[in-house]
Every structure is written in C-alpha cells, then in structure tokens.
Amino acid sequence: MDAKNDMILITGVTASGKGKLAFELAKETGAEIICIDSMKVYCRMDVGTAKPPKEARKCVNYHLLDVVEPSEAFSVGAFVELAHEAIKQIKQRQKRVIAVGGTALYIKALLYGLFEGPGTDEKIRIQLRARAEKEGLGKLYRELLKVDPAAAERISPNDLRRIVRALEIYQITGKPISQLQKQFDAEKTVHDWMIIGLRRKKNIENSRINVRVKKMIEAGFVNEVKRLLAEEKPLSKQAECAIGYAEIIEHLNGKTTLEEAIKQIKKNTRRLAKHQRTWFKRFRNINWLDIDPEEPAEETFKRAKKLLDNLR
C-alpha cells in the first residue's frame, strides 16, 4: 500500500454517485469504507438512507453503518470517536481507508476536528426549545437568518438542534457561530486526506434526486417506516426528522397524501443538496470531477483512478 495514498475521502451532494465510486475503488484496491452519514448509522433505516446493498457489504468491509438504534440520539462527537477508531483498525490491517458521504458537518469534524464552542446555557436552551414548540421552528430559523445568515445557509430549516445551538451561542457570546468557527478554516486536516468531489450541473443533480426518491418508494420505503413506527421504542427526534422519514410519517398520520409526501421529499432533498453545495465551498483541497449527464459510472471510476495516481 502506498502510504501517501491510503486516505481517500469521496464526497458530493446526495445522489451524486459517490457511494458507487467508493465501492468500486474499495473492491479493486482492497480498501475498507467509512460512511460519513448522520442517518446511515441507524439500524433498520435502510431504504430511506440509501444504504449500500447487502451484496456490496459482503464484498467490502463497511464501517459506521447500523451502529445505533433508531430510538437513540447520535452526535457528531460520537461519529468522530467511532470514525477514528475505525481508521485505527483499518490501518492496523494495512488497508487503505476510503471515507464516503455527504453529511458536511461530519466531514468537517473528520477533517479538522470538533468545534466545541462556548459552554451551554440550559436556561437559554430551554427557552429556545419552548419558543420552537409554541411559535414554530420556522420563526427561530428566520431569527437565525437575521443574526447569522452564514450559519443559516448551512443549517436545514428543520434542524431543531443546530438552530437552537446557533441561537444559544449568539445569545451567550453576542457573536455568530459562523464567525467563531472561522478559526478552523486555517487548521490543517487531522489526517492526510486526498479528497475527491463528484459534481454535476444543478438540474442534473435535481433529476437524479427525483429518480432516487422514486426508487426508494418502489423499494418499499413506506413499509419500512411503518415497521419502524411499530417498534416498542419510539423513534428519536433525529431519526423521525430525517428527510424522507419525516414526510412519510406525516403521510401515515393522515396529514398528507402519499403523492404530497413524495413531492415534499424531493423538495427537501433538493434543499439539502443546496446546503451541501454551500458547505463544500468552505472545504479546501477538494479535487472536483465534473461529470457529464451521459457519463457512465465506469468512466467516472477511470477518471477518479487517474486523478488519484496524479495526486500521489
């Protein structure tokens, strides 16, 4: 194994094809894969998170899939701890590490370490959560847009935890969290990663998202959500707010039709892709592969291999 080429990170917006590329590279080189995904960590949340198929997992060793129950909370800190342990184990086996995913906050933590921020103020946090419950999360998000537009651009309007944390930090320090996080922009990466990004034109990415959502429904996504809701322990807030799951839960609760839920999943996934593109602009040293609409996966694989050879 080339020591200078043993840490590869593949990223891109949702449905960009990064998972397939990671699998093909891992299969050819004997690498092991670390998934950088805040929802693939949950057991039995398979269809809606587009986990690798069982056949792929028999060929390649995957890490950070199915590590927590849907009823449990999971944090970026827990992810970093598990990821570094996985990296240690893979290196002990003298295998190449391929990390793949699009959860930008997790990628940032894996590359540069955790931003701890100031301490917490439980009183402020309780007040903000109470406001979200009473006034609606949308009002808090609009408030965040005013005091810290840079952070709001990176945070999903449905992400209660991160919206509350950003407003909490602003109230504690009087400074936007985005300003405090800038200290990490000059830091070196924790490991010597070679980073490949897959990128397509926005309209093509949106089309691929629509196709993925259609396939998820055809693969039994609604039944998967039904089974999860029937489990003895209720879904955690994180799990039930995941894109796709939240909309199907609304449908199963009789609040929307399936057609409306599917339309909303597509809309929210496109919004996620927009947030991902914004995040990726802040990451340094991403080697982007711009992919043509008709480019087959085999050609992307060849181009990625050539790029990695040139980066050695």
Cα–Cα distance, 275 to 38 (Å, whole number): 15
Check whether residue 134 and residue 212 sit in a common domain: no
Q: Output DSSP code: residue 282.
A: T
Tell me what pLDDT residue 3 has: 45
pTM (2 decimals)? Answer: 0.80
> What is the reported pLDDT for 183?
54
Q: Are residues 155 and 297 in the same domain?
A: no
DSSP type of residue 3: G
- Do 100 and 233 reside in the same domain of the chain? yes
Domain containing 282 — which CATH number? 3.40.50.300
Q: Kindly provide the b/e burial profile for residues 175-201, where b requires at least 16 CB atoms within 10 angstroms of the residue's own CB.
A: ebbbebbeeeeeeebbeebbbbbbbbe
pLDDT, residue 186, reads 47
295 & 201 share domain: yes
My answer on whether 212 and 170 are in the same domain is no
Residues 146 and 202 reside in one and the same domain: no
Q: Check residue 187 and give its pLDDT.
A: 52
Q: Which of 135, 158, 183 is the last residue of a domain?
A: 183
Distance CA 217, CA 225 (A): 11
Are residues 144 and 33 both part of a single domain?
no
Quote the pLDDT of residue 188.
55
| pLDDT score, position 191 | 66
Q: Are residues 41 and 165 in the same domain?
A: no
Please give the pLDDT value at position 1. 42
CATH code where residue 131 lies: 1.10.20.140
Check residue 179 and give its pLDDT: 80
Burial label, 9 (beta-carbon count in 10 A; 0-12, 13-18, 19+): buried
**Tens of pLDDT along 142-156?**
999 999 998 898 888
Domain boundary among 183, 199, 228: 183
94, 216: one domain: yes
Domain count, the chain: 2
Q: Are residues 80 and 132 in the same domain?
A: no
DSSP label of 42? B
Indicate whether 137 and 279 sit together in one domain. Answer: no
The series of mean pLDDT values per 10 residues for the chain, 312 residues long, is 71 96 96 97 98 96 98 92 96 96 92 75 91 94 94 88 92 85 56 91 96 98 98 95 97 98 97 93 90 93 92 76
Q: Which domain holds residue 17?
A: 3-113+189-311
In this structure, are 199 and 173 located in the same domain? no
Task: Express each pLDDT in 259-299 by its tens digit.
Answer: 999 999 999 999 999 999 998 988 878 999 999 999 999 99
Separation between Cα atoms, residue 84 and residue 89, nearest integer Å? 9
Domain's final residue, options 183, 202, 221: 183
